[in-house]
């Protein structure tokens, strides 16, 4: 398990809308600290009580990079924490990194 601060790195291309929403969550809720975001997602994970492995900061970075998509346990925790749906990791990005969602822009 990694300790300390692992800062978010944003690739030049936004790989998916799920990656974009995850990056926004890491920046807004944890100031770009992937380790803190990983701890929050692990704490919210419904299988944590069953002794499942914690979510690693490196895993979140790989999701943001578009290398992997979340499985059921992590996907459910992310949905409960900040509302991203698993299918968002299969959709093209709805905007640039950290851009407001379309419904938030319409409300402004």
pLDDT in tens, 70-96: 988 888 889 989 999 989 999 999 899
Residue 103: pLDDT band (50, 70, 90) is: very low
Check if the beta carbon of residue 20 is closer than 8 Å to that of residue 8: no
Give the pTM.
0.84
């Amino acid at each position: 398990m990694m300790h300390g601060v692992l800062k978010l790195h944003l690739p030049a291309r936004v790989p998916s809308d799920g990656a974009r929403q995850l990056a926004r969550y890491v920046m807004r809720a944890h100031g770009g600290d992937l380790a803190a975001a990983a701890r929050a997602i692990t704490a919210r994970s419904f299988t944590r009580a069953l002794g499942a492995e914690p979510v690693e900061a490196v895993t979140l970075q790989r999701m943001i990079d578009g290398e992997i998509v979340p499985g059921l346990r992590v996907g459910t925790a992310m949905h409960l924490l900040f509302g991203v749906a698993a299918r968002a990791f299969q959709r093209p990005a709805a905007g640039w990194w950290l851009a407001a969602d379309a419904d938030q822009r319409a409300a402004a």
